[in-house]
Amino acid sequence: MCQIEGSMLAAVFSGRYENNMDYNNGGNVYIGYPPPLMIPLMDWLTTNQDASPDEQAPTLNIPPSHEDVWDGALSVSIGLESLFSRPPAAKMFNSVPKKCK
């Protein structure tokens, strides 16, 4: 969680905010985002951590149904917008119905 220096995710899990975090009954940190959003991020972080320096960064695949939540999480809670932000046009046309054949 701390491998991307300068990110909000790294700051939150640095230990400085340990008393301000929400925990579940098992003592695990509670993150209020749905698993279809967080599991791809955790997979990406693991793959990125295990990759050699000369390997290209893996692709992060967020389900289309969670892309709007992901866009908000990137800039507000996770702080990884510079790594994963989609171009503005992609965001703008994301919700436009596709009626072309």
Nearest alpha carbon to residue 21 among 80, 77, 97, 70: 77
CA atoms within 13 A on the CB side of 34: 11
| Residue with the larger pLDDT of the pair 72 and 81 | 72
Q: Sort residue 79 into left (φ over 0), alpha (ψ -120 to 50) or beta.
A: left
d(CA 8, CA 74): 9
Residue spans per domain, the chain: 13-93
The dihedral through the CA atoms of 49, 88, 90, 71 has a sign that is: positive
- Global pTM value: 0.63
Q: What pLDDT, in 10s, does the model give residues 27-45?
A: 888 888 888 888 888 888 8
d(CA 48, CA 81): 16
User: Is residue 91's pLDDT more than 60?
Assistant: no
Query: Looking at the chain, how many residues does it have?
Result: 101
